């Protein structure tokens, strides 16, 4: 059990430390809206990770491969991500750190939905969890029973959430180094990453059509 917890925590720290779209999304939101609002994004990410874990754990494809359903899911998901990416690039950010300025309180449900969709629609995340599940199923390497696997996944999810909270908290201390130009660059980087993610998601559709 102890081994499962250690492996789970280590895996969660590794996954959350990758400079992906969620990483930049957390930093961007924390700088603009404060680190507390990023908790909603983290909860959305955790919820999507739970879904990805369930899919990989039972080694089941909810959507038939190379079918019409999969194609439309990819098209619709990519369209949503592209809209988010273009919006982030075109958005003109304004730094408002003055105590006399009170930024509008962001909708936590929208933030959670953003974290959920960005994380869930990233094919790399599903591939990562499938790889992890495949390794855990090799009893000769880990000797993990079903209980230990559950403990492993719980440890990973806890580590991911804690790391994302720390990332969000750390971004707040960068306020004095951030100006409008820097914030717009972060928005641009996030937007480009989202568009690249959409292209990756659409690539199998392109191959099928062309």
Is 161 within 8 Å of 46 (Cβ atoms)? yes
The sign of the torsion formed by the CA atoms of 110, 9, 11, 138 equals: negative
Task: Record the pTM.
Answer: 0.67
Note the pLDDT tens digit of each residue in 4-19: 888 888 888 877 766 5
Note the pLDDT tens digit of each residue in 151-169: 899 999 999 999 989 888 8
- The structure tokens 């994302």 sit at 164
Measured CA to CA, the distance from residue 141 to residue 185 in angstroms comes to 44
């Amino acid at each position: 059990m102890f081994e499962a917890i250690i492996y789970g925590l280590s895996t969660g720290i590794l996954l959350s430390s990758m400079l992906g779209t969620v990483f930049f999304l957390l930093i961007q939101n924390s700088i603009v809206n404060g680190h507390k609002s990023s908790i909603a994004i983290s909860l959305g990410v955790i919820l999507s990770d739970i879904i990805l874990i369930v899919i990989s754990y039972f080694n089941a494809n909810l959507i038939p491969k190379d079918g019409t359903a999969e194609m439309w899911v990819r098209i619709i998901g990519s369209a949503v991500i592209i809209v988010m990416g273009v919006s982030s690039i075109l958005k003109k950010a304004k730094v408002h750190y003055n105590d006399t300025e009170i930024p509008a309180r962001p909708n936590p449900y929208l933030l959670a939905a953003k974290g959920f969709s960005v994380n869930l629609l990233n094919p790399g995340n599903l591939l990562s969890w499938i790889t992890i599940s495949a390794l855990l199923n090799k009893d000769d390497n880990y000797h993990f029973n079903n209980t230990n696997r559950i403990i492993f996944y719980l440890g990973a999810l806890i580590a991911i959430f804690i790391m994302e909270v720390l990332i969000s908290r750390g971004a707040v201390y960068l306020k004095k180094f951030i100006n409008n130009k820097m914030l717009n660059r972060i928005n641009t980087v996030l937007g480009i990453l989202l568009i690249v993610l959409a292209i990756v998601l659409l690539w199998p559709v392109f191959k099928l059509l062309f």
